[in-house]
Every structure is written in structure tokens, then in C-alpha cells.
């Protein structure tokens, strides 16, 4: 079949095969001959307001995000429309195809019994313990660390949208592709963004992720000033739900409490005006009852065994703000930037589980315990565990705590963002800042830090410089300066004996 050749409104050639290969909720999808991008046509005619919003998304907002220094970073995190076309009276958008790792390589259990191999890795498969445990091939699941990395990317992407004044409007596992095996994530369906000073969005969100205030006012007319529509604050609720579900594989509001005998009304109340956190610290009436759920939902459905506090001292307070303080008070919800920073620091606090055979999580967050053990499988840590508390210089020669630490394990890497508080691991990292500058190794019973790229490293305790290529043996109470420049850090070594 011959292809259709068009010119986008921005003057870019567009070509597609006029055989529909996929159909979404609102659009019909056609592939380019080389299958590097798709052209998706809206089935319904866009009104002037929708057309105007779409042109802003593809035009000025795409330019602000992608055509700036470091803009290429976002190519893998968003699938952003690149052009608008008209064909046979219909409006369409061009969008790059998803990367290969966002399609199931192995699919479901028992030689892909459910025939999902080759399909998109929609987030729902990984946000539910039941789906994850009952259906997915083990090779698709990833480990607990990979879910933290996924959440970092999602929070970072949402932070960038919000910084531009945009809201997603339908942030959910339906519109986020994830790859736990590689720790990747990508936000899709960008054409539905809420654009500032434009017209209201066409959708109010996906059930399970819609903010309580949106559900509580959904019966009102769209033009009623009391009606709450999707915005940055409602995105913050959806983001918190996504992070909670990816890290804990259960929904934060779906517990045992019944609000109304009518199932539809009960759901409306449970997600809306009477929404209650399943792990509320003072109201246990909505706790999840594990006996109500199938075995495949375990152990994640058991909040006594795996409470939200296992995510660590930085994330746990954010979950309380999101689902207690901010659940019915949108102004108190954590921002995407707060989630991103807490997630990044928490990854540095993660420790590999020593049960390498049967612990699916494979990692856990160090709980500052003198006898650490994996909460997932119960395996205690054996041996000396170095914990590095990070300090940085605000004034020359004076170091103060950074409320950050780095856990040590064999092969653990040291980067510029560990050695200097002025460097943060996000889209603004330079190629040089992405390079490893050191690593940790268990050598002949001793933990050592090998210096690969820090010219200013000094063992303060021994009063000696540690040259590049040299190493320092870690001991209890030891202090090592990593970087002597502005913002440079000092590590204080704490040895925990397991």
C-alpha cells in the first residue's frame, strides 16, 4: 500500500501508511514507513479551543522544554507530539514511537500464557501486587531499587511540566510506561495537557488517581466556579498515588471501609469527600484487611508487614503529607520537586539484601538500626556495614550535616553529587559530572574507598592526602574530605556490626 505524504503545520514532512494499526480512546494510530514515529488522528473534530491548546503544546511549550540547553534529556522521559497535520478533515499529531524497552520482552508466566509479549508496558502491570505476582514473567519485574529509579524519572518529568506551568490532567499508570527491568519510565498522552490561560481539559483523569476534590465536585457544571478541574495541585495527588503504588504495590485509599451500600456511591465517597489513607496514623477504620484479598496480593497488601515507613525517613513524611495533611487540603501536598529530591537521597540509603536467592525485592532502605534486616524477607545483615554521613562546607573549614547519607556495599559507586552538595543528579548534569569518581570494595576483610577522580580527597583522621588512584580504608569515626571546592563534602564513617 502506498504511503500518505503530508506537511505538518510547522513545515515538517510527514509520511504514514494509511492502515490503522492501533486505536486509542480518542485517536486512530498509523505508523510511518520506517516505524520511527506514528501519526495519530483524533476521531472527533477538534473545536477551536482544543485546537488552540494542541498548538500551544506542540509549539511554544515543546520549544521551551526541548529546544533549550539539556533539552535532549527529555526525549526519553516524554513522548511529546512533534507536529500537527490535517488529513481528510481530521486533525492528527506526530509522535515518536516508544523505545524498545517499553515493550514486554518475555511477557507473562508460563511461556507468555496471556499473550502480552510485544505489548506496551503499561504501568498497571507493575503497580498492583496481584497483577505483578500472578501474571508477569519474573524477568519483567525488576527489583525494588528499579521502582525507586522509575519514580525518580516520573517525579522529575512532572516537576518539569509544572515548572512550565503545565499540568498533565490524567497522570496515571495508564499514561506512564515503565520498564522495571531497566529502571526506565516515560510519560505519554501529552496532547491532553492543561495549558495555562487556555480552555479546560477534555478529561478529568483516570479512576484511582483523580484528586478527592475533583470527584467531590464532579456533578457540578464545568463552568460552575465550585467545580474543581485538573491542575498542578491535582497532579500532585496523582503523583503521590503513583509513587505509593509503584513502591508498595497497593492503593493508598482502597481499604476495608464501606461508606454506602450502593457500590457506585461507595466508590465516589471513598475516593472523594470521605477519602481516608489506609495507613492513617490515628484512624485505622480503612486499614486493608489481607484476608479479603487473594494470596497473589501478598505480602504487599499487609500494611503491618510492609508499612509505608519501609520507604525510609525521607519519603514516609511525604506520604503523610500527601494522604493525611494534603488529602483534602491541596495546598499541603508535596511538590514533584520534593518527591524527586527525597527519592534521589533515598536511593543512596538503599542496601542490597544478602539473601540473593529468594528475596525478590533484592534491596531495602537502611532504617538507622543497629541490627539492620531486610523487611521483605527478614534476612538480617551480617558483617560490618559502613554508613557514610555526608557533611558539606558552608564556610571554609566548617562542615555541617546535609541530612544525607550513602550506604556502602561492594561495587557501590561514588559520583560528583556525593562529593559536592552543589551538584544534583538531574537533567542538568554535564557529561563530566556523570562520570564515576570513586568506588567501594570489600578487600581482605576491610572496606576501602578507591579514588578515581577527586583531586582534593583527604583522609582527615590520618592527616594525609588520598591521590587519584589511591585508596583509603574505612574505619569507625573516620573523616574523609572528598572535595575542597565550594560545596565540597566530608564523609563521617559509621560502622554498623551485623
**Omega of the bond leading into 207 within 30 degrees of 0 (cis):** no
Lowest mean pLDDT among 94-98, 221-225, 287-291, 445-449: 221-225
Residue whose entry in the numeric block shows the C-alpha cell 491532553: 192
Per-residue pLDDT of 47-56, as tens digits, reads 888 889 899 9
Is 69 a domain residue? yes
Q: Clarify whether residues 89 and 108 are in a common domain.
A: no
pLDDT confidence of residue 229: 86
The CA–CA distances, whole Å, from 337 to 10, 35, 185, 277, 478 equal 33, 35, 17, 22, 33
Question: 491-494: which pairs have CB atoms within 8 A and are 24 or more residues apart?
Answer: 491/388, 491/389, 491/390, 491/391, 491/406, 492/388, 492/389, 492/391, 493/386, 493/387, 493/388, 494/386, 494/387, 494/388, 494/389
- At 251, the pLDDT band (50, 70, 90 cuts) reads very high
**Which residue among 73, 97, 121 closes a domain?**
97
CB 438 within 8 A of CB 416: no
pLDDT of 3 strictly over 90: no
Same domain for 80 and 167? no
| Residue pair 310/302 in contact by the 8 Å Cβ criterion | no
Distance CA 311, CA 77 (A): 24
Rounded CA-CA distance 331/85 in Å is: 39
Domain contains 480: yes
What pLDDT, on the 0 to 100 scale, is given for residue 311? 97
Q: What pLDDT, on a 0 to 100 scale, did the predictor assign at position 362?
A: 95
Residue 373, in any domain of the structure:
no
Structural domain range at position 123: 102-348
* pLDDT > 80? residue 370: no
Same domain, 42 and 170: no
Q: Note whether residue 366 is domain-resident.
A: no
Whether residue 76 sits in one domain with residue 203: no
Rounded CA gap, 167 and 150, in Å? Answer: 20
> What is the domain-level CATH number for residue 424?
2.60.200.20
5-14 CB burial, b ≥16 within 10 A, e <16: ebebeeeeeb
Q: For residue 20, what are the contacts with CB-CB under 8 A and spacing of at least 6?
A: 28, 29, 30
Q: Where are the alpha helices (DSSP H) in 302-395?
A: 315-320, 336-348
* Rounded-to-integer distance, Cα 176 and Cα 159, Å: 15
Same domain (yes/no): 232, 335: yes
Mapping DSSP to helix (H, G, I), strand (E, B) and coil, where does residue 126 land? Answer: helix
Q: How confident is the model at residue 220 (pLDDT cuts 50, 70, 90)?
A: confident
Number of Cα atoms under 13 Å in the Cβ half of residue 279: 23
Q: Final residue of a domain: which of 67, 97, 127?
A: 97
Please tell me the total count of domains within the chain. 3
Q: CATH number of the domain that 214 lies in?
A: 1.10.510.10
* Whether residues 180 and 305 fall in one domain: yes
For 227-255, what is the mean pLDDT?
95
Nearest to 52 by CA among 182, 200, 181: 200
pLDDT of residue 99: 93
User: Scanning the structure block, which residue is given the C-alpha cell 498515588?
Assistant: 241
Q: Are 457 and 451 in contact (CB under 8 A)?
A: yes
From the number of C-beta atoms within 10 Å of its C-beta (0-12, 13-18, 19+), residue 223 rates as exposed
Q: Are residues 115 and 71 in the same domain?
A: no
pTM of the shown model: 0.94
Burial of 226 (0-12, 13-18, 19+ CB in 10 A): exposed
> Final residue of a domain: which of 97, 121, 142?
97
Q: Are residues 173 and 306 in the same domain?
A: yes
| Domain-embedded: residue 359 | no
Q: What is the pLDDT of residue 293?
A: 87
Tell me whether residue 296 is in a domain.
yes
SS3 content of the chain, % helix, strand, coil (to 5): 30, 25, 50
Find the mean pLDDT for residues 59-74: 89
Q: Are strands 398-407 and 384-395 parallel, antiparallel or unpaired?
A: antiparallel
Tell me how far apart the alpha carbons of residues 388 and 492 are, in angstroms, rounded to a whole number.
6
Neighbours of 121 (CB within 10 A): 25
- What does the angle CA 111 – CA 114 – CA 115 come to, to the nearest 5 degrees? 75
Are 347 and 276 within 8 A, CB to CB? no
pLDDT band at 1 (very low <50, low <70, confident <90, very high): low
Phi-psi label, residue 318: left if phi above 0, alpha if psi -120 to 50, beta otherwise: alpha
Pair 283, 403 in one domain: no
Here the CATH number for the domain that contains residue 69 is 3.30.200.20
User: 180 near 144, Cβ under 8 Å?
Assistant: no
For residue 171, being part of any structural domain is answered with yes
Angle value at C-alpha 452, between 483 and 372, nearest 5 degrees: 80
Long-range contact set of residues 53-56: C-beta below 8 Å, sequence gap at least 24: 53/193, 53/195, 53/198, 53/199, 54/81, 54/84, 54/91, 54/93, 54/191, 55/9, 55/84, 56/195, 56/198
360 occurs within a structural domain: no
Q: What is the pLDDT of residues 152-196, one digit of tens each?
A: 999 999 999 999 999 998 899 999 999 999 999 999 988 888 887
Pair 276, 344 in one domain:
yes
The reply to whether 318 and 278 lie within a common domain is yes
pLDDT band at 204 (very low <50, low <70, confident <90, very high): low
pLDDT average, residue stretch 428-441: 94
pLDDT surpassing 90 at residue 486 = no
- In angstroms, rounded to a whole number, what is the distance separating the alpha carbons of residues 176 and 98? 11
Q: What is the pLDDT of residue 490?
A: 95
Arithmetic mean of pLDDT, 345-357: 94
Asked whether residue 60 falls in the same domain as residue 81, the answer is yes
Amino acid at each position: 500500500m502506498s504511503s500518505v505524504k503530508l506537511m505538518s503545520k510547522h513545515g515538517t514532512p510527514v509520511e504514514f501508511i494509511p492502515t490503522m494499526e492501533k486505536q486509542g480512546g480518542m485517536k486512530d494510530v498509523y505508523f510511518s514507513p520506517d516505524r520511527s514515529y506514528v501519526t495519530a488522528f483524533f476521531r472527533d473534530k477538534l473545536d477551536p479551543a482544543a485546537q488552540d491548546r494542541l498548538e500551544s503544546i506542540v509549539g511554544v511549550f515543546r520549544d521551551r522544554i526541548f529546544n533549550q540547553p539539556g533539552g535532549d534529556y527529555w526525549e526519553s522521559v516524554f513522548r511529546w507530539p512533534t507536529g500537527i497535520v490535517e488529513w481528510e478533515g481530521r486533525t492528527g499529531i506526530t509522535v515518536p514511537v516508544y523505545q524498545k524497552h517499553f515493550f514486554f520482552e518475555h511477557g507473562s508466566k508460563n511461556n507468555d500464557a496471556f499473550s502480552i509479549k510485544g505489548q506496551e508496558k503499561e504501568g498497571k502491570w507493575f503497580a498492583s501486587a496481584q497483577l505483578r505476582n500472578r501474571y508477569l514473567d519474573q524477568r519483567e519485574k525488576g527489583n525494588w531499587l528499579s521502582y525507586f529509579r522509575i519514580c525518580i524519572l516520573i517525579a522529575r518529568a512532572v516537576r518539569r511540566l509544572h515548572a512550565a506551568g503545565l499540568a498533565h490532567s490524567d497522570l496515571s499508570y495508564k499514561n506512564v510506561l515503565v520498564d522495571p527491568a531497566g529502571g526506565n519510565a516515560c510519560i505519554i498522552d501529552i496532547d491532553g495537557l492543561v495549558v495555562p490561560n487556555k480552555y479546560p481539559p477534555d478529561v478529568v483523569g483516570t479512576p484511582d488517581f483523580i484528586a478527592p476534590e475533583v470527584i467531590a465536585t464532579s456533578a457540578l457544571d464545568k463552568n460552575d466556579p465550585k467545580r474543581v478541574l485538573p491542575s498542578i495541585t491535582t497532579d500532585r495527588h496523582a503523583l503521590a498515588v503513583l509513587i505509593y503504588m509503584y513502591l508498595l504495590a497497593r492503593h493508598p485509599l482502597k481499604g476495608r471501609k464501606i461508606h454506602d451500600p450502593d457500590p457506585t456511591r461507595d466508590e465516589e465517597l471513598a475516593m472523594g469527600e470521605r477519602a481516608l489513607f489506609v495507613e492513617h496514623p490515628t484512624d485505622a477504620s480503612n486499614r486493608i484487611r489481607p484476608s479479603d484479598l487473594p494470596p497473589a496480593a501478598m505480602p504487599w497488601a499487609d500494611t503491618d508487614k510492609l508499612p509505608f515507613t519501609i520507604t525510609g525517613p525521607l519519603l514516609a513524611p511525604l506520604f503523610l503529607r500527601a494522604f493525611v495533611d494534603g488529602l483534602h487540603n491541596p495546598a499541603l501536598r508535596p511538590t514533584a520537586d520534593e518527591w524527586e529530591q527525597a527519592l534521589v537521597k533515598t536511593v543512596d540509603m538503599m542496601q542490597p539484601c544478602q539473601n540473593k536467592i529468594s528475596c525478590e525485592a533484592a534491596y531495602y532502605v537502611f532504617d538507622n538500626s543497629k541490627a539492620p534486616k531486610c523487611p521483605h524477607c527478614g534476612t538480617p545483615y551480617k558483617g560490618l556495614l559502613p554508613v557514610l554521613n555526608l557533611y558539606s562546607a558552608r564556610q571554609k573549614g566548617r562542615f555541617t550535616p546535609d541530612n544525607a547519607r550513602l550506604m556502602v556495599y561492594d561495587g557501590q559507586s561514588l559520583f560528583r553529587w556525593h562529593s559536592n552538595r552543589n551538584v544534583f543528579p538531574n537533567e542538568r548534569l554535564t557529561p563530566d559530572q556523570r562520570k564515576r569518581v570513586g568506588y567501594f570494595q570489600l578487600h581482605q576483610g576491610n572496606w576501602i574507598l578507591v579514588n578515581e577522580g577527586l583531586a582534593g580527597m583527604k583522609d582527615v583522621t590520618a592527616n594525609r592526602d588520598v591521590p587519584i588512584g589511591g585508596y583509603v580504608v574505612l574505619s569507625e569515626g573516620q573523616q574523609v574530605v572528598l572535595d575542597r571546592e565550594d560545596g565540597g563534602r566530608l564523609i563521617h564513617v559509621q560502622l554498623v556490626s551485623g
